[in-house]
Structure 1
Amino acid sequence: MPEISLFYGIRVTMYYDEHNPPHFHAEYSGNRALVDISNARIIKGALPSKQLKLILAWCVIHQDELMQNWELSKDGKPLNRINPLV
């Protein structure tokens, strides 16, 4: 499970050969969530309120890059790092 970004203690990963809809995994302090890339919303799990706002804002900003990584993951190719939220 490649790490594609890390910021404010939030670890963002994406698995190879995942199910639809396109999504990524976010983890913060033992809390985990699956985030829908297209709709910038939680599919499963939960994050604390502050971290949820940060990860959803980051998702909107980097939506195109996340979708590119989703396509790469489907083809089993290396994923690109995505800039953290600063």
Structure 2
Amino acid sequence: MPTISMFYGILVSMYTLDTQKHHLPHIHVRYNEYKIVLAIPNGEILEGQLPNRQMKLLQAWIELHQDELMADWFLASSGQTPFKIDPLR
């Protein structure tokens, strides 16, 4: 699972060929012991949880990088490695 971005202890990943379970474009996020799966480009929670502060940071990052996330999803869903996306600064 390639990590496509990291910021403030938040790791954002996207699996290649990961279309079976959630059936929607999505990202996997880890922060300490928390794991969450979010739909893209809207940030809807599909599974898991994250502390409120980190969730707000992540939602801001998703908002800024919607187009890049969707482009990465199309790459990953066809078996290609997604590109890195700039972290939140």
TM-score (norm 1): 0.95
How far apart are 1:74 and its partner, in Å? 1.4
Match of 1:47 in 2: 50
How far apart, in 2, do the equivalents of 1:45 and 1:74 lie? 22
Structure 1 residues 1-80: aligned runs within 5 Å: 1-19=1-19, 20-80=23-83
CA-to-partner distance for each residue in 1:14-46, whole Å, 9 max, x for gaps?
001112210001110110000111222211100
- 8 Å Cα contact 2:11/2:31 also seen in 1: yes
TM-score (norm 2): 0.92
Q: What secondary structure does 1:32 align onto?
A: strand
How far apart are 1:76 and its partner, in Å? 1.2
Structure 1 gap ranges (5+): none
Q: What secondary structure does 2:76 align onto?
A: helix
- 8 Å Cα contact 1:41/1:56 also seen in 2: no
How far apart, in 1, do the equivalents of 2:44 and 2:6 lie? 19
Q: What secondary structure does 1:60 align onto?
A: helix
- 8 Å Cα contact 2:16/2:81 also seen in 1: no
Structure 1's consecutive aligned runs of 4 or more residues displaced over 4 angstroms after TM superposition are none
Structure 2 gap ranges (5+): none
